[in-house]
């Protein structure tokens, strides 16, 4: 079985990725574990392009196996789908999410429930050892809340309310979030696409 090298340095993501891919790919390494250093300008116009840019850079740096990378973001419909692919850079990369989340809530002041729709989107790209490339995308639909809720997750999770669950994604356990999240769904989709090859 081919090993997978995932283009991320984020340990939280690696835990999630390993648990989802484990049944098919027992060996999933981070770039660091694979001894690979690669930098890529994420200047694509879509989540898929950015994920592919990252995966290609790691493959070009000599990764031995299937290289995967992800790109994700939050789309707020009332704000013309901002911050979208710029979610990490919104208000500056080093600005705390307490401030980013308060800003988004502020920009939705007075906006009624039904217009607060939003989604987390995730694309996963793969570059295979023979050079073939794949990309998939998945989303989770929700609404922007009126205040931060929950201590779990990261980023925009405390303001992302999922009506069907009656909770924000920051109020879910890691396992619960993996079952419904954009990243969990996209990873499972990628696993299925790879099986078809
Ligand atoms: P990246 O795909 O790692 O570059 O992440 C993009 C940005 O989107 C993150 O820095 C967060 O701001 C946001 N984001 C993506 N996925 C999630 C999530 O599951 N919860 C909260 N914020 C997220």
**Measured CA angle at 47 (ends 103, 44), to 5 deg:** 100
CB 45 within 8 A of CB 71: no
Residues flanking ligand 1, CB < 6 Å: 70-74, 87-88, 120, 153-157, 169, 181
32-36, 166-170, 177-181 — which one is most confidently predicted on average? Answer: 166-170
Q: How far apart are CA 1 and CA 13, in angstroms?
A: 22
Q: How far apart are CA 13 and CA 6, in angstroms?
A: 10
pLDDT at 74: 98
Cite the active site residues: 71
Is the confidence at residue 1, as pLDDT, over 80? no
- Angstrom CA distances, 101 to 90, 124, 127, 178, stand at 10, 25, 34, 22
The DSSP output letter for 169 is G
3-state secondary structure of 132: coil
- Measure 88 CA to ligand 1 centroid, in angstroms: 6
CA-nearest residue for atom 5, ligand 1, is 72
Question: In the chain, what percentage of residues exceed pLDDT 90?
Answer: 87
CA-nearest residue for atom 9, ligand 1, is 88
Is the confidence at residue 148, as pLDDT, over 90? yes
CA-nearest residue for atom 14, ligand 1, is 73
What pLDDT, in 10s, does the model give residues 65-96?
999 999 999 999 999 999 999 999 999 999 99
- For the chain, the average pLDDT equals 95
pLDDT at 9: 83
Residue range 151-168: mean pLDDT, rounded: 96
Which ligand 1 atom minimizes the distance to the CA of 13? 3
Ligand 1 pocket test: pick from 104, 156, 176 the residue with the most ligand atoms within 8 Å of its Cβ: 156
Question: Maximum distance among all alpha carbons in the chain?
Answer: 54
- Measure 1 CA to ligand 1 centroid, in angstroms: 30
Q: Which residues, in sequence order, are CB contacts of 42 under 8 Å at separation 6+?
A: 50, 53, 54, 71
- Measure 186 CA to ligand 1 centroid, in angstroms: 14
Is the confidence at residue 139, as pLDDT, over 90? yes
Query: 9-18, 86-95, 110-119: which has the minimum mean pLDDT?
Result: 9-18
pLDDT at 108: 98
What is the reported pTM?
0.95
Q: Which residues, in sequence order, are CB contacts of 166 under 8 Å at separation 6+?
A: none
Q: In the beta sheet, which residues pair with residue 29? A: 5
The band of 186, judged by pLDDT with boundaries at 50, 70 and 90, is very high
- Measure 121 CA to ligand 1 centroid, in angstroms: 9
H helices of the chain, in order, are: 11-21, 47-60, 97-107, 174-180, 182-196
CB 172 within 8 A of CB 16: no
Residue range 146-165: mean pLDDT, rounded: 97
What pLDDT, in 10s, does the model give residues 33-63?
999 999 888 899 999 999 999 999 999 998 8
Residue range 117-127: mean pLDDT, rounded: 98
pLDDT at 72: 96
Q: Sign of torsion, CA 125 127 128 130?
A: positive
Which ligand 1 atom minimizes the distance to the CA of 153? 20
């Amino acid at each position: 079985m081919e090993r997978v090298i995932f283009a991320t340095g984020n340990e939280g993501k690696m835990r999630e990725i390993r648990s989802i891919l484990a049944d098919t790919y027992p060996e999933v390494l981070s770039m660091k574990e694979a001894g690979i250093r690669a930098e890529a300008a994420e200047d694509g116009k879509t989540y898929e392009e950015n994920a592919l840019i990252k995966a290609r850079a790691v493959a070009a740096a000599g990764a031995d196996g299937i290289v995967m990378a992800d790109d994700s973001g939050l789309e707020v419909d009332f704000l013309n789908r901002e911050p979208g692919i710029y979610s990490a850079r919104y208000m500056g990369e080093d600005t705390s999410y307490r401030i980013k989340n308060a800003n988004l809530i502020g920009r939705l002041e007075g906006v009624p429930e039904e217009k607060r729709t939003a989604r987390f989107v995730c694309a996963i790209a793969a570059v295979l050892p023979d050079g073939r490339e794949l990309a998939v995308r998945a989303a989770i639909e929700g609404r922007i809340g009126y205040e931060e809720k929950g201590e779990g997750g990261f980023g925009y999770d405390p303001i992302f309310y999922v009506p069907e669950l009656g909770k924000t994604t920051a109020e879910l356990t890691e396992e619960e979030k993996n079952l419904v999240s954009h990243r969990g769904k996209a990873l499972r989709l990628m696993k299925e696409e790879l099986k078809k090859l």
